């Protein structure tokens, strides 16, 4: 809050391999050579190097929306409606109601879990998995959250929980245990801010919401005002300067677009 512009960057994570459930559902609904993207909204584009997974709310409903010829996105209907107003759909007729959005199918987040996606800038070039996160809000952003455990305490706490209870969540443990690379150095928390704060505030699970809210504020402020980039094209630069440059790079390459909520 009050930290730089609150413009979300909508990142395009291309589907490489559907979960078995989705493989079945998309059958015959989209072209075989169509591109489909999960579109998380982030306030920290400079951390995209560290994406290790992408979260959906397991009980939230998502739509597969046709953005243009042979291109689809997975977001909440609420987000697709916002995007329509922001000029991101290129249909011949503008939707007058949410029912007129070009939705080809609808499914709960749980159906997408296990899907493999390609995350722009991520060091995990073999792809990252769609995983469940209970605390995702359907009323914010796109309902999709990309996971950066090095710098987001929420993401780190959720991944620890997923790895601990992999069977319960119906996921493979390895999906939640991708390597966490240092991205940003900070004077107070070192180069893995989120893990350091989770330890310091004795956060044991994603249910420790009070400490997580505090950790999130501390991580955000420290990263933005005192952080230095350790990776990428702006290595050595302060986060406050690198942020806009990485965001512009992502927009220019077509891997992301601005999104206002
Ligand atoms: B941030 P604000 Cl590294 N439900 O991206 C829950 N959380 C959501 C969401 C939703 N529907 N949509 C977006 N978010 C998350 C990166 C990141 C983020 C880092 C550190 C902090 C951080 C990687 N996850 O956010 O409440 C997204 O996670 C802490 C502020 O709209 C998004 O940025 O201000 C951020 O919350 C947007 O939060």
- Give residue 238's pLDDT: 98
Q: How far is the CA of 28 from the centre of ligand 1 (A)?
A: 34
Q: How far is the CA of 252 from the centre of ligand 1 (A)?
A: 22
Identify whether 235 is part of a domain.
Answer: yes
Q: Which two tokens stand for residue 163?
A: 């790895």
pLDDT tens for residues 197-207? Answer: 999 999 999 99
Q: Is the CB of 224 under 6 A from ligand 1?
A: no
Q: Which two tokens stand for residue 251?
A: 């927009």
CA 88 – CA 102 distance, rounded (Å): 12
Q: How many CA atoms lie within 13 A of 243 on its CB side?
A: 20
Q: How far is the CA of 32 from the centre of ligand 1 (A)?
A: 33
Identify whether 3 is part of a domain.
Answer: no
Identify whether 1 is part of a domain.
Answer: no
Buried b (16+ CB within 10 A) or exposed e, 80-106: bbbbbeeebbeeeeebeeeeebbbebe
Are 127 and 16 spatial neighbours (Cβ–Cβ below 8 Å)? yes
Are 64 and 76 spatial neighbours (Cβ–Cβ below 8 Å)? no
- Give residue 75's pLDDT: 98
Q: Best substitution site from 3, 5, 41 to test ligand 1's pocket, by max atoms within 8 Å of Cβ?
A: 41
Closest CA to 170 of 19, 53, 22, 23: 19
Q: Which atom of ligand 1 is nearest to the CA of 155?
A: 24
- Give residue 6's pLDDT: 58
Task: Measure the CA angle with vertex 126, ends 248 and 140; round to 5°.
Answer: 50
- Give residue 7's pLDDT: 82
Identify whether 2 is part of a domain.
Answer: no
Flag residues of the chain having pLDDT under 70.
Answer: 1-6, 90-93
- Give residue 203's pLDDT: 98
Q: Which atom of ligand 1 is nearest to the CA of 138?
A: 11
Q: Which domain holds residue 181?
A: 8-259
Q: How far is the CA of 138 from the centre of ligand 1 (A)?
A: 13
Q: How far is the CA of 227 from the centre of ligand 1 (A)?
A: 18
Beta-carbon contacts of 205 under 8 Å, excluding residues fewer than 6 positions away, are 157, 160, 161
Q: Is the CB of 150 under 6 A from ligand 1?
A: no
80 membership: H or E segment, kind and range: helix 77-85
Are 247 and 3 spatial neighbours (Cβ–Cβ below 8 Å)? no
Q: How far is the CA of 41 from the centre of ligand 1 (A)?
A: 7
CA 48 – CA 245 distance, rounded (Å): 13
CA 247 – CA 261 distance, rounded (Å): 17
What CATH number does residue 80 fall under? 3.90.740.10
Work out how many domains the chain is built from and give that number. Answer: 1
Identify whether 178 is part of a domain.
Answer: yes
Identify whether 231 is part of a domain.
Answer: yes
């Amino acid at each position: 809050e009050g930290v730089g512009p609150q413009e979300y960057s909508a990142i395009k994570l291309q589907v490489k391999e559907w979960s078995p459930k989705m493989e079945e559902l998309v059958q015959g609904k989209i072209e075989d050579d169509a591109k489909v993207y999960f579109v998380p909204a982030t306030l920290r584009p400079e951390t995209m190097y560290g994406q290790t997974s992408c979260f959906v709310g397991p009980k939230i409903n998502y739509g597969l929306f046709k953005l243009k010829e042979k291109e689809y996105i997975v977001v909440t209907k609420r987000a697709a409606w916002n995007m329509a107003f922001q000029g991101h759909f290129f249909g011949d007729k503008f939707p007058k109601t949410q029912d007129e959005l070009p939705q080809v199918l609808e499914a709960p987040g749980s159906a997408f879990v296990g899907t493999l996606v390609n995350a722009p800038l991520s060091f995990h070039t073999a792809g990252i998995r769609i995983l469940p996160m209970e605390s995702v809000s359907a009323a914010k952003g796109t309902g999709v959250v990309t996971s950066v455990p090095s710098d987001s305490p929420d993401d780190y706490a959720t991944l620890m929980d997923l790895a601990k209870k992999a069977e319960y969540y119906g996921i493979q443990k390895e999906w939640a245990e991708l390597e966490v690379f240092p991205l940003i150095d900070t004077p107070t928390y070192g180069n893995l801010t989120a893990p350091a704060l989770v330890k310091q505030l004795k956060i044991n699970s994603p249910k420790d919401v009070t400490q997580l809210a505090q950790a999130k504020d501390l991580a955000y402020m420290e990263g933005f005002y005192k952080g230095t980039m350790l990776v990428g094209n702006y290595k050595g630069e302060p986060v406050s300067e690198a942020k806009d440059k990485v965001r512009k790079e992502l927009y220019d390459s077509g891997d992301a677009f601005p999104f206002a909520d």
